[in-house]
Chains A and B, each alone.
Chain A
Amino acid sequence: MSDPATLNPLERIAEAPADHYRVLKISDLDGDRLLELSKFMKLSLSREDMLAIQAIYAEWKREPTDVELEVIAQTWSEHCKHRIFGATIAHEVDGKEETVNSLFKTYIRDVSQRIFDSKPGFVLSAFHDNAGFIKLDDELAICLKAETHNHPSAIEPYAGANTGLGGVIRDILGAGKGAKPIGSLDVFCFGAPDTTMENIKADDVIHPLGVMRGVVRGVRDYGNRMGIPTISGAIQFDDSYIYNPLVFCGTAGVIPIKDIAKKIEPGMKVISVGGRTGRDGLHGATFSSAALDTDSHESDQQAVQIGNPIEEKKAADFVLAARDKGLIEFITDCGAGGYSSAAGEMLEECGGTIDLDQVKLKEPGLVSWEVFISESQERMVLAVKESSLPELRKLADLYETELTVLGTADGSGILKVTHHSNTVCELDCSKLHDAPTRHLKGRWTKKTALVEPPLLTNPGQALRDLFTDFAIVSREPIIREYDHEVQGNTVLKPLAGATGDAPQDASVLRISGSKRLMAMGVALLPEWGKTDPYAMGAACVDECVRQLVAAGADPERLAILDNFCMGNPDAEEELGALVETVKGIAAVAEVYGAPFVSGKDSFYNYFETKEGPVSIPVTILISGMGIIEEESHVTGASLRKSDSLLAIIGHTASDLGGSVFARRHGLENASVPATRSDEAWACYRKYYEAVKKGYIRSAHDVSEGGLAVTLAEMAFSGKAGLEIDLCSLPMDDDASKAAMLFGESPSRLVIEVAPEYLAKVADLFEGLPFAALGRATTAHANLHIEWGKETLVNEPLADLKSLWKTGLARYY
């Protein structure tokens, strides 16, 4: 036998002895060789990681098995460990240097912890479980979790999105001792549907339209079959997403509070429920921790799996029935890293043995590491008392799902895996989660400048133009493909108004067994982040919170999630933008007392095109849940009565940056409006008082397209025309007409109020930015906006609505 040190990794593996697992001699390899081995095995581990592993094994005085290396790679992958959010970052803003010791600890965890402490008993669990829980009432808690499935969706849009939703639903089933999934959200970022082929600068990239259709159908076919209403969502279109589309899937759940805490103890059995294990989905976690290139479309197909929602539905029915019978002690989903992550998480402290011979396979011949890390879908891993097994088996038969006992927890602290009578893995669980801290550099320099607003000669035409923009057009063709009413609890639906086709901000679900309801909202503003990531982060938190509050949620009882996507974290400018975004979300979240209860991040969303690498802009999705005290507080975004008065809450700034108007009129690097969070927070609390008193008929947030679009959208309910005068609009002295009509300053709500209540509402907002805007009318069916004596806009609502309704329908 030749000297292993001189062999390349391929030969090393070829010469290793056993057939189902191998011991790999790494002790004598140098950094280059270790990195080579990592690449060959598709471990996505860096040189430093490999050296750290070498050191651990040197201490243990032995060589690793391939199973162990795979387990460590999964555990240390960015996907599972979020190492960039834990990294030490040397950051420079406009020339000033600072050091961030873990973005997560500094800006997410610590901020949230302060909020938890200020609201005792509200957040019941955050960060450590599959999803964070907040208290709904004395009996029940609700949770929300969002994930990305970007790389799989780029390569195989249908299957990628399909399993993306399937995976996050399992997160909910694996939260606490098993939460019931009650509603889903989906948020996408695509290239524009009308992208020309010449603008796609790489081979084998799927056209945005193909990606969009595939992704929507993937979400549809999983969510609809699972019987979970898809109630909330958003789509952003930008050329930078052509190569790296983003697919966020989120699901909310409900659980009895007594079933949140879970613990595994020695002697318990570890069981798997649901689908079988196959070669599909190998290396998904490590694959998502690397960039895409043209070859990915061929070579990484193995990492994308096919979903089987009925398998998951059966497992879900089983899990919820077993939980109600008190048969579950611990549960987690089988997601990235498969059994290795699930069992690893479960046995982290306790330790135990997993016997791979027990695993039910889809096909014969899988070697040990394949069985242990396969990400085959629709599997849940549970810890149960041995005495509960007979009853659990009966339940599994009743719901026609497969139950397999995988192993036993033993209190040793060691994760031991056996296969064909060999010990193929024996790891000290405490070592498993100690990845080396990464050291990175970030830099951000101010990009915005004062830009002269364009002369607005024909505001009506500008408004019509906005209603054809992909950022604004109705998502109806997509929304109708999702069952958003299953479970019979969707009170505030994604489409509303007198004809059921007008836009809605947050959605609201009744919760069976409670008189309280849950609001769900999402916000993302990638356009803002291109020039001002801090303002983007701030405004995203604001918009999500504003949507929840607008729908009637108690501003004191909200929780939010942060889902980040970015390109190359090793590029200083890109990482710098991320740091600034994180600071922005943290600052506003703290003012609003809206804690982060869960979050996830996705890196390496860049693509090597023929013309060099293309990164996505740093993108933050803030999704949130809020508690609505009673059904009478539920407030929609559609104009309801023709005798109503309208008013605006919030300040209009002169900045046009980030707006759809600015993009369409080529205003580059225009300054982006800041979030005036203290003032906004005061407004939201006053608004909630008005809701509780029954003063508010409807309320719509001012977002993409600005005030003129917001007003028109409210009137798309078809109930009345609008007579508006902007003469008392609270705004910057130098705000242009364009800023008044189309600027996208955050923290603003347009409210509809019965005539007899307007004075009372105005009293509530004494000292805060608030102004009456005008009234609904039956005299005409136009959006008529004046500014003093000047008519700015006088457009038939039917025409605007028609533009808005058909904009996407043509492409979908």
Chain B
Amino acid sequence: MLRYLAKRFLLILPTIFVPLIMVFLLLRLAPGDPAGMMLGDQATADQLAALRAELGLDQPLPVQFLLWLKGIFTLDLGNSIFFREPVMEVIPRYAGVTILLTLVALTLAIVIGVVMGVISALNRNNPVDRGVVTSAVLGISLPEFWFALLLIFLFSVTLRWFPVSGWTPPSAGLIAFGASIFLPALALGIRQSALMTRMMRSSMLDVMDEPYITTARAQGLPERKVIGSYAMRTASIPVLTVAGLAAGYMLGGAVAIEIVFALPGLGRMLVEAVARRDYPLVEGGVLTISLVLAVLNLVIDLLYAVLDPRIRYQ
């Protein structure tokens, strides 16, 4: 197990470095000028050149690359061009919001997906099943930002149950935090919950035909225990795989939701940083997302063994 872990940790390095190097090169090779974005549209050529020199952007690309590499290995990601603060201090402010949003959205997606999938499987081919499957197809098809605007219209503007937008941290109270994160998390999680519903339904239908389920029933175990302890546990493994992929999708894809709900998250920060050509901040953001994703995938792989004792890592 330890050997497996060490191997996986080693594999994380190229997983992180390849996208980082690509981002470094793409950012600098793409047109666009951080100095112009900083000084605005009325800056003169001299002023732009002076700022570029001040930011070190006038140095040859190989020199910039070596300095950047040195920074990575010494855990110094440099200063954000626009915030004028160390990237290592800016990123956590934004990453916390996105990680919390992803966790809540993932929890909602799993709960909705598993429950609806099981209900659908237990009511195979009857109207309940068809209703769930149709809803799942709709959920997969709806763009998240559109769903977000619908949620705002229904729950915020019409019913006035939740605020339209804004971020309240958990430190301000759990009720206020819950009110501010529920709609964004639901909007972010709904598509994944639809995927999980379909996956859970299909997986449950397969498992329910397995001999050990028949054996359990023949032994007189209550149906609730057969479903809960035997069928659901095995059927959840494919859902876990989807959950891992969903977490990655949510971490990187929360941008639209963060913009609609005005959440100060990593996705929105990255989009703004790319638009401003804030190179160090973009690189720091990509590093963070790559790292979280790699670790998350490892954790999910390890969880397989917890759910299915037949799985062993060597």
A binds B: no
